[in-house]
Amino acid sequence: MSRLFPFRALRPAPEAAARVASVPYDVVNAEEARALARRDPLSFLHVTRAEIDLPPDVPPYDDRVYEQAVRNFEELKRAAPMLQEEEPSLYVYQLRMGSHVQTGVAGTFSVDEYEQDLIKKHEKTRRDKEDDRTRHMVDLRAQTGVVFLTYKSLAAIDDAAAVVTKGAPLYDVTAPDGVRHRLWKAEPDAAAALVRGFEQLPALYIADGHHRAASAARARAELRAAGGRTADADRFIAVAFPDSAMQILPYHRTVKDLAGHTAESLIGAIRASEITVTHGKAVPGRAGLVSMFLDGRWHSIELPPPPADAPRAEQLDVDVLQRRILEPFLRVGDPRTDKRIDFVGGIRGTDELERLVASNRAAVAFSLHPVSIVDLMAISDAGGIMPPKSTWFEPKLRDGFLVHLI
């Protein structure tokens, strides 16, 4: 059974929603965040990335950043304004990107279930990133970033959500990237039906937002230790989408140098290990193929199949590429820490890979086939961990539409 809880959301007045809503804090760097937020003082990036309002030499985890975030949050509440619901509510959040549409349920979910692995994970988290969001939550007494969950599709939830979307949305915003975001508030009967639907789910899965979920658990622990009120901190804000609606894009790789190889010797070394390399296209047509951009052209690599009894995570193309190509031939160590490897989300396209190589910011780039939601769920069910930067979910939620005060 999975528990879904209505909550008293803090949300922008409808006329300000388009100005407040921003990209998630962790998909842009400080320079990009500054450029985006410069356009509007109401941008939620002033809350989630408060370092953009301080001199560029201030470290991102400096005390001044969190103090600025608190000031910015209080100012945004007044200026937008941000309004808090009088009664706990649930919401339906719909994303449209081109022809792709996905509809999810927004509410709060159990921190206890997260800690008990009933909300399943597939990714390791970094302590520094956890430290950052934990302090952000505790200082603001708010969860400002939304976790992206998925679940095995259930007709009862789909039907209840469909009832909600027959009404007029609270927000209907088309973001600068062309993605349309619509949010409806569920009436009590529909909200009760959604809660009952989630009670039928044996598990939920984190698709995106592992650091946000982990930080919510740590924030609760810190508030408890300080003797603070923790009832609202027992839950974290998320939007849950059915697996049938999820769209996963690949997460590509670039490597800064060829580890002493020339382009010709690298291809020769790979072929000498009985791995097939041919001229190819930028986008691999199926799992098991990886496209490599090197010396101004695309090549296709036929990855050796992993043993059939290997753990599911070790059968993913991202893992096979690391073990059979990046590590032995390009001397890339742990991809979580090796500074010579970088990652490019699939939304940026293979043109970005070509640009990085052409500008000498990388020596070689690898374009991958996307991981399936079936693989993600199977690995999570087995308690496995996927390689870092395996999945890029698109379209993404925007921060600022809904905030959970703790």
Domain boundaries, the chain: 4-248+394-405, 251-369
Residue 70's closest CA among 9, 154, 135, 122?
135
Whole-number Å distance between alpha carbons of 210 and 391: 13
Quickly count: other Cβ atoms within 10 Å of residue 215's Cβ. Answer: 26
Q: Is the pLDDT of residue 227 over 90?
A: no
Q: Is the pLDDT of residue 230 over 90?
A: no
pLDDT band at residue 134 under the 50/70/90 scheme: very high
- What token pair was written down for 27? 């998909």
Task: Find the mean pLDDT for residues 162-178.
Answer: 97
pLDDT tens profile 269-321:
999 999 999 999 999 999 999 999 999 999 999 999 999 999 999 999 999 99
Q: Is the pLDDT of residue 229 over 80?
A: no
pLDDT of residue 137: 98
Contact criterion met (CB below 8 Å) for 279 and 285: no
Whole-number Å distance between alpha carbons of 269 and 95: 45
pTM assigned to the model: 0.92
Whole-number Å distance between alpha carbons of 80 and 68: 17
pLDDT of residue 293: 98
Task: Find the mean pLDDT for residues 343-365.
Answer: 96
Q: Is the pLDDT of residue 396 over 90?
A: yes
pLDDT tens profile 47-57:
999 999 999 99
- What token pair was written down for 325? 């190509």
* AA identity, residue 268: G
| CA-atom Rg of the chain in angstroms | 22
Whole-number Å distance between alpha carbons of 205 and 195: 17
Task: Find the mean pLDDT for residues 251-269.
Answer: 98
pLDDT of residue 138: 97
Contact criterion met (CB below 8 Å) for 360 and 345: no
**HEC secondary structure over 150-209:** EECCCHHHHHHHHHHCCCCCCEEEECCCCCEEEEEECCHHHHHHHHHHHHCCCCEEEEEC
Residue 10's closest CA among 398, 328, 331, 402?
402
Q: Is the pLDDT of residue 121 over 80?
A: yes
Residue 387 per-residue DSSP state: P
pLDDT of residue 16: 98
Q: Is the pLDDT of residue 228 over 90?
A: no
pLDDT of residue 214: 98
pLDDT tens profile 83-111:
999 999 999 999 999 999 999 999 999 99
- For residue 142, the cross-strand partners are 405
Phi, psi (rounded to 5 degrees) for 168: -80, 135
Q: Given 3.30.1760, 1.10.260, 3.90.1720, 1.10.760, which CATH number is that of 251-369?
A: 3.30.1760
pLDDT tens profile 180-215:
999 999 999 999 999 999 999 999 999 999 999 999
pLDDT of residue 165: 98
